[in-house]
Amino acid sequence: MATVAEAAAQEILPRFRNLGVGGISEKTSAIDVVTQADLLAEKHITAALKARFPDALIVGEEAYEADKSVVPALADAELAFVIDPVDGTFNFASGSPLFGTILAVVAKGETIAGIIHDSVLGDTVTAIRGAGAYLRRRGGQVSRLAVAPVVPLSQMAGLISWLYLDEPDRSRISTNMAKIRMPFSLNCSAYEYWLIASGRIHFIGHARLMPWDHLAGVLIHQEAGGFAAKFDGTPYLPAETTGGIILAPDEESWRMIRREIIG
């Protein structure tokens, strides 16, 4: 946790709303970007982890661009760390404070710990499998997290990210979101998982499952009492990148969202 906070303080915050010429570049499109903060924060965290765990597999979002074999390797790795140095990079590059750093720990194909750090506020959400999920404030206060109570679909607040959905799924799901009380979008998994694990919203859904976006958050949500499964009802595993996922307060709510929203 200290390493993640150090990377935020040294590499991310000094560049927030302060990216110089060449500090941002496109990856695949104008909304898929990378900044100096992403690259340097990932390098900082990777070096610290390698120093302490030299034999561990390190899966960084930015390093993945150079070696895509690291994601399938998560299925069998004895110990692995999965890093999203700046989740919500588009927000970060646009000057919005809705971004964070995500770190997941995987052992023998199972996520065993997760960290989501808010660089701006200094708060950190953590979970260890079987030990609950907690919010740790910058000032030292600690509180246990719990998902929202079960409510009817019409009273739910939630989001489905349809950025990577193809038609007709994209239009159908966006139309079905009118059935809930408050649909919204943050473009930041770090904040989405904090909101759902702390009971502020009821559900989230994603079609693409890159491990740095979801492994830590899914574990944190489950440790806060929630239910998660892929669109087909099967468990989400670390090496998977397709099949979609829904997170909800309980299994019955999950089934309702799958039926009424995903269709």
CB atoms within 10 A of CB 132: 15
Within the chain, which residues score under 50 in pLDDT? Answer: none
State the pLDDT at residue 21. 59
- Estimate the crossing angle of helix 211-223 against helix 189-197, to 10 degrees: 10
Annotated binding residue 213:
yes
Cβ atoms of residues 19 and 35 within 8 Å? yes
Q: What is the pLDDT of residue 26?
A: 65
The answer to whether the CB of 30 falls within 8 A of the CB of 21 is no
Query: What pLDDT, on the 0 to 100 scale, is given for residue 61?
Result: 85
Q: How many domains does the chain have?
A: 2
C-alpha 146/C-alpha 221 separation (Å) is 8
pLDDT given for residue 228 in this prediction: 98
| CA–CA distance, 35 with 208 (Å, rounded to integer) | 22
Decide if 191 contacts 218 (C-beta within 8 A).
no
Q: How many CB atoms lie within 10 A of CB 252?
A: 11
AA letter at 116: I
Quote the pLDDT of residue 141: 95
Place of tokens 């906070």: 5
Q: Tell me, what CATH number does 87's domain have?
A: 3.30.540.10
Q: Does 166 carry a binding-site annotation?
A: no
Check whether residue 160 and residue 132 sit in a common domain: no
At residue 171, the pLDDT reads 93
Residues 1 and 83 in one domain: yes
Expressed as residue numbers, the domain containing 126 is 1-144
**Residue 222: CATH number of its domain:** 3.40.190.80
Residues 3 and 91 in one domain: yes
